[in-house]
A and B are shown apart, each in its own frame.
Chain A
Amino acid sequence: MANPATVEQTVRYRSANAVLVGNALTKVYRMGEVNVHALRGIDIALYEGELMVLLGASGSGKSTLLNILGGLDVPTEGRVVYRDQDLTSADNDQLTAFRRDHVGFVFQFYNLIPSLTARENVALVTEIAPNPITPEAALDLVDLGERLDHFPAQLSGGEQQRVAIARAVAKQPDMLMCDEPTGALDAATGRIVLEVLERVNRELGTTTAIITHNAPIAAMADRVVTLADGLIKQEGYNSQKKPVREIVW
């Protein structure tokens, strides 16, 4: 790892269990004659229970990396290993099963199914997950217990994003992958959303990776990874995590 902050922290994290390990990950998009190198060789791990924030300029490869780690995409080269399962050689169905059983996603544009109510959007996932909590409990967790039967169109952006988080956590995933979860929200609403993520990470111990453009948000993380041009430019550890409510951006 490129830039360990302190010895103490390095020891603390190295000794923790790595849930997911990516080795020498590269991703090349072929655009006709041109090859776009989105990732140029990244080694990264996600550790049990940590909250990691991914920073980086637009186009630096954050989404690409998160998608590969979450099993939404496959690297051009390199290996991804989840606990003792090698995902590199997994076929489509195995990747799907991996996502279904272990990963929760939160997207920038919420991506709720517009024809389903909040409860049904969550049920969509709990019905196929191996070890879910009830949709109602999940929505309670994000303080939307009152809005069970509302359709996405009847919810504000922040509320929709909270439904999306409820949908992601309801299956009790091992990892939560969030790609700019506050990107489409104003600061106040974004804060509510981040607080939910913070709480889930803290209370359920869900390993969480969050992509953001707002550097201050990195203060809520255990660890901050910064990408630039497809490589890890910087990696650091927050000795003191800041609660979301204290962060200003």
Chain B
Amino acid sequence: MVAAIDRKLLRDLFNLRGQVITIALVCACGIASYASVLGTYESLLYARDAYYERQRFADVFAYLKRAPDALLARIQDIPGVSLAYGRILQPVKVPIEGLTEPAQGQAISLPATGEPPLNGVHLVEGRLPETGREDEALLLEAFAKAHKLRPGDHIPVVLNGVLRSFRITGIAMSPEYVFSVPPGEMLADPLRFAVLWLNQEVLAAAYQMEGAFNDVLVKLQPGASESAVIVELNALLDPHGCMGAYGRDKQLSHNVVKSELGSLKAMAKVLPVIFLAVAAFLVNVVLSRLVQLQRQQIAVLKAVGYRDRDIGLHYLKLVSVILLIGALLGLAFGVWIGRYFTDLYIKFFAFPDLRYISDPGVLGTALLVSVVTAVIGALASARTVMRLPPAEAMRPEAPAIYRRALSEVLKLQALFGDSARMVLRELERRPLRTLLSALGIAFSVALLVSGRFMFDSIDLLMNVVFEGAQREDVIVVFSEAVPERAMREIGHLPGVLRVEGLRVVPVRVRFGHRTRDVQLMGYGDRAQLRRVMDDRGRVYLPPREGVMLSSELAKVLNVGLGQRVRVELLEGERQKSELAVTGIVDDLIAMFGHMRLDNLNRLMREQSRVSMAALSVDPRRYGELRDALTDRPAVLGISRREHLIEQFKRQTADQMHVFTFIVTAFASIIAIGVVYNNARVSLSMRSRDLASLRVLGFRRGEISAVLLGELALEVLLGLPPGMLIGKLLAIGMMSGIDTEQYRFPVVISAQTYAYAAVVTLGAALVSALLVRRKLDKLDLIAVLKTRE
């Protein structure tokens, strides 16, 4: 048996169904964004942590030239180290069929015991190479999939200049390659990047590394200080040509995963708050109107003996029902989107068992949060209800007090018609609601902006990087630095239109007690292809003397122009010297010290040498050039800008389109929710005025203009702050990204702003039309007869 007061609740809900649905949807978006984004975040986090744990992913990494196995014992003795493991890691070429240039590869040694003690492999298929077998290899799943390779197939690998063929015994995943980026690059390229695990003896024999290792993995004891271990490790490894030990945060794959988790978490915090704030606002608008309409009913309930708290609870129940409907919808929808998001990540991240886990905690929190939202939204009205004296409410509400609108006082009325005057008066009469409505609209605009600005940022990044800074068609990386005169020889190769030598040297830069391992880039005198460019597309020449730092690096080191940094080379003789900071540039990727090539070579105490060549190439003759280059042992790899661009686009596109679509849908729901509810409330508050106007002879169009004019004005008011908030949101969402890797410029194009405005206006229009239908059906007699 439903109590009479609860029947009232159900019937009120039914009568308000338009508003109930729109508010529930806004709330649903909040809960859905919370459940999906947080769920995806937790799923990823869980998959990652479980995987790292199971495969014993190392905490500290160091790559070096060569060190005797005996050194491992000393590493093991560093306080805080729980396990140290040395292995051989070699860049190799994989001249596989179907690719125009050989794929880059990493060959990793497998110990005689089979499973590596750290950075273990997760077998997807097949088995590990048998100990003692010299022709067996385990292959990274991403590459195997891209080339449809299976256990039993053969794969060609160039080991130290010798082409060999290995039989694939198994397909594996590795925590080191969750996101498989070739070393020194920033894009995943499963087609062109192979990781192979070979038996230790094979690699040792091919690279004369018997009894030695060139790559160290360290597992820390719980609670040990990573930086302290790195310092000790560097001290031990420096004499062995170490380029600087680094923690997980700088491990390429981990860094990408971490960045992604960071932005998910930021989003999980921001998105639901926006939706729930809007939902609370809508609840407030609708409920305060409802309470106003039901003053008499509230008074009666009080008069016949319902307590203030019973009645307060009654209205709270009403909004709770709305928001619970929203929460349940949101949860169902959120789990669905969460699954979808998580599945999307399976494309990017090779986790063995990544799947969406719906956490009951998330469910409980979502329900709780929606009730809290209801309470917040209902608070003001609940106070009104409580305060309403039962006797006082027996009288009909006093007529609303209108003042002459400011615009009228300012004698602007000549500019507007009658309808416009009514619109302005109404808006000025309830400035707070107008303001909050505009704010709601602003949120919708902001969401749309934040959902789309990534396209702009990436466009800009691509523009700066690929059109301005890296204009070469092909980059050739040498395995050792070569004399600069070799460039002339390359210049004569078929199809080469221009060649520029570059030198890249890994260094440890120190200022005060701060240090970073970065790269010094040396540019030739007349460099045209590789250039230093800032986020606004301005080209910088490397300074005549000293070094120009990435502004991010200057910030990390806390060093300013004119100060001197200490630089330790991480290759060759490992000279230490000092360099004056003669420039700081807001470049976008990684952290560099930009120098003139001759200055860099002087620092190295070497005659002019280069480690990379940037080529401008006649595309028709690219094939010939590639063949000519591939055969050279000094050439470690060739990469084409075209591939990079394509890869970049592919990597970002999928994910962003889905995200943008969902945000657009959500933002539209906010816009519809705000506009529709405001319109309904305005309609209910003013139906008498409007009906009177009709009776006085105004046409439908004219009275629609009065009501819809208000809405239009609110929407227009919301646009500019929306764009501003959108920018702030965008900045917030970018804050999860590791700025030492990328500095995505938060730029927002005119198209994005236009898109946000158009979608919001469209949503507003849809809701305006819905309300207009009601307006057109306005029953004059009924409205004028009813007593409020």
Contact = CB atoms under 8 A, between A and B. Distances in A.
Interface stretch (A49-57, A118-126, A136-144, A219-227): A118-126
A115 B11 contact: yes
A167 B4 CA distance: 13
A99 B310 CA distance: 15
A73 B392 CA distance: 8
A124 B4 contact: yes
B300 A111 contact: yes
A19 interface: no
A17 interface: no
A82 interface: no
B788 to A, nearest CB: 11
B89 to A, nearest CB: 75
Contacts of B3: 123, 127
B684 interface: no
B391 interface: yes
A111 B11 CA distance: 17
A111 B7 CA distance: 17
B394 A124 contact: no
A194 to B, nearest CB: 20
Contacts of A112: 300
B299 A111 contact: yes
A70 B272 CA distance: 49
Given A67-B391, A111-B297, A113-B297, A99 B8 contact: no
Contacts of B305: 96-97, 99-101, 125, 128-129
Given A120-B7, A121-B4, A124-B5, A115 B12 contact: yes
B303 A116 contact: no
Interface in B267-323: 296-297, 299-308
Contacts of A111: 296-297, 299-300, 394
Contacts of B391: 63, 67, 72-73
Interface string B1-16: 0011101100110010
Contacts, number: 80
Contacts of B296: 109, 111
B620 interface: no
Contacts of A97: 305
Given A96-B308, A116-B11, A105 B297 contact: no
Residue among A112, A123, A124 with the highest chain B CB neighbour number at 10 A = A124
A73 B303 CA distance: 10
Given A72-B390, A116-B7, A127-B4, A109 B303 contact: no
A124 B8 CA distance: 10
What is the interface residue range for chain A against chain B?
Answer: 20 to 34
B430 interface: no
Contacts of B12: 115
Contact of B304 (A105, A109, A114): A105
A63 B392 CA distance: 11
Contacts of A73: 389-391
B464 to A, nearest CB: 63
A90 to B, nearest CB: 13
B8 A167 contact: no
Interface in B1-60: 3-5, 7-8, 11-12, 15
A140 to B, nearest CB: 18
Contact of A167 (B11, B15, B299, B304): B304
B787 interface: yes
A72 B787 contact: no
Interface string A45-79: 00000000000000000010001001011000000
Contact of A100 (B4, B299, B300, B304): B304
A89 interface: no
A39 to B, nearest CB: 13
Interface of chain B, main secondary structure: helix
What is the interface residue range for chain B against chain A?
Answer: 20 to 34
A93 interface: yes
Given A72-B303, A105-B303, A124-B301, A116 B394 contact: no
A156 interface: no
A36 to B, nearest CB: 14
A92 interface: yes
Nearest to B297: A113
Interface in B480-508: none
B307 A93 contact: yes
B15 A99 contact: no
A25 B300 CA distance: 24
Contacts of A129: 305
Contacts of B11: 115-116
Contacts of B389: 72-73
A125 to B, nearest CB: 5
B307 A113 contact: no
A96 B305 CA distance: 5
Contacts of A63: 391, 394
Contacts of A237: none
Given A73-B391, A115-B8, A120-B7, A92 B303 contact: no
Given A72-B391, A120-B4, A120-B7, A113 B300 contact: yes
A7 B436 CA distance: 69
A123 B304 contact: no
A111 B390 CA distance: 12
Given A67-B391, A115-B8, A116-B7, A125 B304 contact: yes
A128 B8 contact: no
Contact of B306 (A70, A96, A104): A96
Contacts of A109: 296, 787
Contact of B394 (A100, A107, A114, A125): A107
Contacts of B302: 72, 96
A96 B307 contact: yes
B4 A123 contact: yes
Contacts of A124: 4-5, 8, 301, 304
A58 B347 CA distance: 81
B306 A92 contact: no
Nearest to B13: A115
A231 to B, nearest CB: 20
Given A96-B302, A111-B297, A116 B307 contact: no
Contacts of B390: 72-73, 99
A239 B301 CA distance: 38
Contacts of B308: 92, 96
A99 B390 CA distance: 11
A125 B15 CA distance: 23
A147 to B, nearest CB: 16
Contacts of A99: 303-305, 390
A45 to B, nearest CB: 21
Nearest to B782: A153
Interface in A117-168: 120-121, 123-125, 127-129, 167
Nearest to B296: A111
Nearest to B3: A127
Contacts of A93: 307
A129 B305 CA distance: 8
Contacts of B15: 115
A179 B394 CA distance: 10
Contacts of B306: 96, 100, 128
A245 to B, nearest CB: 29
Nearest to A115: B11
A179 B303 CA distance: 13
B394 to A, nearest CB: 6
A112 B296 CA distance: 9
B639 to A, nearest CB: 72
23 contacts: A63-B391, A67-B394, A72-B302, A72-B391, A93-B307, A96-B307, A97-B305, A99-B303, A99-B304, A99-B390, A100-B304, A100-B306, A105-B304, A107-B394, A114-B297, A115-B7, A115-B15, A120-B8, A123-B4, A124-B4, A124-B301, A128-B306, A129-B305
Given A67-B394, A96-B307, A112-B300, 6 more contacts: A92-B308, A93-B307, A96-B306, A113-B8, A121-B4, A128-B305
Top 8 closest pairs, chain A to chain B, by CB: A100-B305, A115-B11, A72-B391, A124-B4, A123-B4, A73-B391, A67-B391, A120-B4
